[in-house]
């Protein structure tokens, strides 16, 4: 291509007709014109010369025009090429198909040369502005990606620094993030909300830097009343730290309310049910299972306690997804048990776990042999008060 000239490719089966598109456009000194008489040759040449504009004459059959344009748009190098068809669309349906294929404009073949040249230049100005915008967008996107990477790295450094102060925080943070991601996905939370919850889960213990080490490193259940009062301040401290980060107010709010209980018995504001932010409900469930593991409970024991605290400390549906996470993570612990739905129960089966409803009521204890009337009662109950955590029976 000659310096300072714009490459234009013309596809026209009638190459030698006086006054055709090639003849008209070649008169414009700022254009370098290439001419072919076959659309497939045009497609091949386009890949080599990367034209700014393609003029396709109406002499090319319509199905071939659509194929030409579709394949052109499928090439990332040619995505910004202006595609103009000489001659009007035959129908509104053809115009719709042409636009979908990627045709930018139609120009009457009988239009004055000045109008044809003017339209081409107008399209080139538009694409030039768009190209500059895309270039700026790419630069901004690259900078944004770098900032996000740096932010993630700084978060990891912060968690690891906390771990040097309170060993175990790093591993708990990773687990908390995994649990939060599992629950958020099953609750179908949108991407931005999920992002804020994951960040809050990852840093839910950050406020412990403001506690005396002798209290911060202990299990909550091992603290005396006075120590528990001091311990209860860490969510507020953590919230203040996170709220200093622009754009993470929801994360700070979730951390602040991480000790609220579903039944309204929690702190700091005794929120109840749906008054509690969903992020705080998820972190509450994470903290609940953390404390049980610290206290020495097995996964079986943790799941049992989760079920017994439905509608008390825990939102039943958040708890159900937490149980599912723990079961999937520790599948080997459940090799002797089968998880069944109510409609899969049969008389004679032996319950391997307590059965709880969403309202927190224990419906049947572990060790009971299922009877026909129990199956019917459970089915009726499940429709009004869903069974949480599944029904486990011993395998034969």
pLDDT in tens, 142-174: 655 665 666 677 777 778 877 777 888 888 999
pLDDT at 334: 65
Query: How far, in Å, CA of 99 to CA of 303, rounded?
Result: 57
pLDDT at 13: 78
Is 15:45 a contact under the CB 8 Å cutoff?
no
Is 242:252 a contact under the CB 8 Å cutoff?
yes
pLDDT at 277: 95
pLDDT at 3: 64
pLDDT in tens, 360-393: 788 888 888 989 888 888 888 888 888 887 788 8
Contacts of 116 (CB under 8 A, 6+ apart): 21, 24, 25, 107
CATH of 166-333, one of 3.40.50.720, 3.40.50.300, 1.10.2020.10, 1.10.3210.10: 1.10.3210.10
User: What are the sequence ranges of the domains in the chain?
Assistant: 6-137, 166-333, 336-396
- pLDDT of 17 above 50: no
For residues 141 and 222, the model is more confident at: 222
Q: Is the bond preceding 32 in cis, omega lying within 30 degrees of 0? A: no
pLDDT in tens, 230-249: 999 999 999 998 888 878 88
Please give the average per-residue pLDDT across 344-365, as a whole number.
85
Please give the average per-residue pLDDT across 307-319, as a whole number.
93
Q: Which two tokens stand for residue 56?
A: 């396709």
pLDDT in tens, 203-240: 999 999 888 888 888 878 788 999 989 999 999 999 99
Please give the average per-residue pLDDT across 125-137, as a whole number.
58
Residue among 272, 266, 270, 242 nearest 254 (CA): 242
Contacts of 253 (CB under 8 A, 6+ apart): 239, 277, 279, 280
CATH of 6-137, one of 3.40.50.2300, 3.30.930.10, 3.30.70.890, 1.20.1250.20: 3.40.50.2300
Maximum distance among all Cα pairs of the chain, rounded to whole angstroms: 99
Entry pTM: 0.58
pLDDT at 126: 75
Query: How far, in Å, CA of 170 to CA of 251, rounded?
Result: 18
pLDDT in tens, 107-118: 876 777 777 888
Please give the average per-residue pLDDT across 293-309, as a whole number.
88
Give me the half-sphere count of Cα atoms (radius 13 Å) on the Cβ side of residue 368.
Answer: 18
The pLDDT > 90 percentage for the chain reads 26
pLDDT in tens, 18-44: 446 667 777 777 888 888 888 889 888
Plot region of 201 (φ>0 → left; ψ -120 to 50 → alpha; else → beta): alpha
Q: How far is CA 265 from CA 36, 115, 313, in A?
A: 80, 76, 8
**Mean pLDDT in the chain?**
84
CATH of domain 336-396: 3.90.105.10
């Amino acid at each position: 291509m000659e310096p300072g000239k714009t490459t234009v490719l013309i596809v026209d089966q009638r190459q030698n007709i006086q006054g055709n598109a090639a003849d008209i456009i070649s008169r414009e000194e700022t254009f370098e014109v290439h001419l072919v008489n076959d659309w497939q040759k045009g497609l091949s040449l386009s890949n080599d010369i990367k034209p700014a504009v393609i003029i396709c004459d109406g002499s090319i059959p319509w199905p071939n025009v659509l194929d030409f344009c579709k394949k052109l748009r499928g090439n990332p190098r040619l995505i910004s090429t202006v595609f103009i068809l000489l001659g009007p669309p035959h129908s509104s349906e053809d115009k719709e198909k042409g636009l979908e294929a990627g045709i930018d404009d139609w120009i009457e073949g009988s239009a004055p040369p000045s109008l044809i040249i003017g339209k081409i230049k107008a399209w080139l100005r538009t694409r030039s502005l768009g190209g500059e915008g895309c270039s700026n967008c790419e630069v901004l996107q690259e900078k944004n990606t770098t900032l996000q990477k740096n932010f993630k790295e700084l978060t990891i450094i912060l968690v690891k620094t906390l771990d040097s102060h309170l060993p175990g925080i790093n591993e708990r943070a990773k687990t908390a993030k995994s649990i939060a991601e599992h629950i958020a996905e099953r609750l179908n939370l949108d991407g931005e909300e999920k992002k804020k919850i994951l960040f809050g889960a990852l840093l839910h213990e950050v406020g412990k830097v403001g506690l005396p080490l002798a209290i911060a490193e202990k299990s909550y259940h091992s603290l005396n009343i006075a120590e528990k009062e001091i311990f209860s301040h860490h969510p507020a401290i953590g919230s203040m730290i996170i709220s200093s980060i622009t754009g993470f107010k929801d994360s700070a709010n979730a951390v602040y309310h991480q000790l609220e209980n579903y039944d309204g018995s929690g702190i700091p504001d005794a929120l109840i049910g749906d008054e509690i932010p969903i992020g705080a409900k998820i972190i509450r469930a994470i903290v609940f299972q953390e404390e049980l593991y610290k206290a020495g409970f097995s996964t079986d024991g943790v799941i049992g306690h989760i079920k017994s605290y439905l509608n008390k400390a825990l939102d039943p549906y958040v708890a159900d997804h937490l149980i599912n996470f723990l079961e999937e993570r520790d599948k080997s612990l459940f090799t002797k048990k089968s998880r069944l739905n109510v409609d899969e129960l049969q008389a004679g089966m032996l319950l391997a776990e307590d059965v709880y409803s969403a309202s927190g009521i224990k419906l049947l204890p572990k060790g009971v042999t299922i009877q026909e009337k129990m199956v019917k009662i459970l089915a009726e109950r499940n429709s009004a008060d869903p069974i949480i955590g599944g029904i486990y029976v011993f395998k034969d």
